[in-house]
Amino acid sequence: MNVVLAGYNIDADIIEELKKKAGWEKDNVTPETLSAAYARISRDPSDIGEIRKKAQKETDKARKSNETIIFGLGHASVAEHAVFNFDITGISRLAVEEIQKYRLASFTEKSQRYITLDGDFIIPSEIRNSPVENDFKNLIEFQNIVYLKLYDGLKKYFFAKFSEKIKTKGGKTVVEGWAKEDARYVVSLATHSQFGMTANARTLEHMLRRFRASKISEIRELAEKIYMEVHALSPSVIKYTEPSVYDTHREVLVGSKIKNYGDKIIKPEWDQVDTKLRQHTKNPDTVLCASILYTHNEGDFESCIKSANNLTKKMKKDLIKSSLKNRECWDRVERAFEMVEYVYELVVSASNYAQLKRHRMSTQIVQDYDISLKYTVPPSIIETGQTPIFSEVMKRTEHVYDTLKKTYPSCKNYALTNAHRRKVLLKLNARELYHFISLRDDEHAQWDIRETARSMKKLSEEAAPLTSMMLSGKSDFSSCRDKIFGMNIDTAT
């Protein structure tokens, strides 16, 4: 066996510096050569290292090979070997929501929990020099003034309430963060953000098609800027970036069809329950036991289901415990847990959703923001007596939102704040739920999404008590494990 580090991503400035120092004039400093080399592995008996060297020397042939294999023969996975890193700045939080929903890309974003905001925001190009531009600007500026006022009041409140904590190492920063994360609820989705993004060429091509089909000009502009950065560098792995008819017409066609259904479409009132378990796998604990049996059995799944049905409740519990025993909080539960699925319907604030959307391995069907769902008020705002000014921000926000909805509907959500809410249909399996609860029911998790996580955990425990027996945040993991297994954990069966 031999393992060779064939390449890795480094800062583009370093690449240019190295090229300059070496007097490099060849056109082969591109991730395309890796894609081309790896594409040849299946048909070329040569050593991979030799195949890579050949691709580096013959860039034109490598590009032709990529086009033939990726687009001609349809082996699109070859494009996944070409990887790109992007710095994306000066973009709105609203646009970030659209970008960061793609599963097979990586994002690290500026946090409004840890950074004091300085009032920067975008004015959508659709409303520049329009009759509503001043109203929009005045609203955002008012929101930002109130943000600073709330932050100042909340910081004093938290410092007094947690005076002992701020004396500890890092305690002051943590407490200041609590003030920032609650003050931000009055800040708009037009607020500037920045993030780093890593994506392979196959994913990036898909993103560009979707971005170019967006109703929001900011997203379309982003598509052009990304395309200009990567096309000249790697033309053979990113080719079909124009939006398809499917992308551009689907929403309109579905929307018009739904309108034709008239009174057959039921629109119930929101009952103010923010977390509901709408569906789950039938007999989830039995299904999990059957899935565990399947990994240690020669029979088919039907026979495993029958076997699991024959087990007593205690036997099922012991079997699932054997799968979980000796687990640490960083260990992922085994894949058998993926056979148990849950569908939750959530009502979440924009601040909550900003964190929820990061769980991209789940399935999230997201409705538009809906001001009839009201808005989330942080408890600290109420406790510090700042509800009136908070409510005034919401009132002014919704007035401008209504104006934009009538005149520039694609821009209406820019005015909304982190407090405004939307519905999300969230489907995830038990394995992913363990991961979600571990992060979001932890003592370091932000309070809003932690409340959602706790409600989800409670509902799952009611539906599948054995499957859910070790659901806990990282901070509660040890006590949860001790409760189930006792204080002395060993590796014996």
pLDDT score of 77: 84
Question: Stretch 5-26: mean pLDDT, rounded?
Answer: 83
The residue with greater pLDDT, 193 or 116, is: 193
* Average pLDDT of the residues of the chain: 91
pLDDT score of 493: 40
Residues in the chain: 493
pLDDT score of 488: 57
Judge contact between 428 and 363, C-beta under 8 A. yes
Locate tokens 């939307």: which residue? 422
The residue with greater pLDDT, 213 or 48, is: 213
Judge contact between 91 and 192, C-beta under 8 A. yes
Locate tokens 């699925």: which residue? 341
pLDDT score of 18: 84
Q: Give the burial string for 428-443 (b: 16+ CB within 10 Å, else e).
A: bbbbbbbbbbbbbbbe
Tell me the H-state helices in 231-347. 245-260, 284-294, 301-310, 313-324
Q: Over the stretch 313-322, which tens digit does the pLDDT of each residue have?
A: 999 999 999 9
pLDDT score of 266: 87
pLDDT score of 492: 42
CA distance 469 to 115: 37
CA atoms within 13 A on the CB side of 34: 18
Question: Stretch 309-329: mean pLDDT, rounded?
Answer: 96
Judge contact between 449 and 355, C-beta under 8 A. yes
339 pLDDT more than 90: yes
Question: Stretch 190-219: mean pLDDT, rounded?
Answer: 94
- Residues above pLDDT 70, as percent of the chain: 98
Question: Stretch 138-145: mean pLDDT, rounded?
Answer: 97
pTM of the complete model: 0.92
233 pLDDT more than 90: no
pLDDT score of 111: 85
Q: Over the stretch 376-425, which tens digit does the pLDDT of each residue have?
A: 999 999 999 999 999 999 999 999 999 999 999 999 999 999 999 999 99
37 pLDDT more than 60: yes
User: What's the burial of 193, exposed, middle or buried (CB within 10 Å: 0-12/13-18/19+)?
Assistant: buried
Q: Which helix (DSSP H) or strand (DSSP E) does residue 386 occupy? A: none
pLDDT score of 487: 65
Six token digits for residue 433: 């739920």
Cα–Cα distances in angstroms (integers) from residue 28 to residues 25, 195, 403, in the given order: 9, 28, 53
Q: Over the stretch 199-209, which tens digit does the pLDDT of each residue have?
A: 999 999 999 99
91 pLDDT more than 90: yes
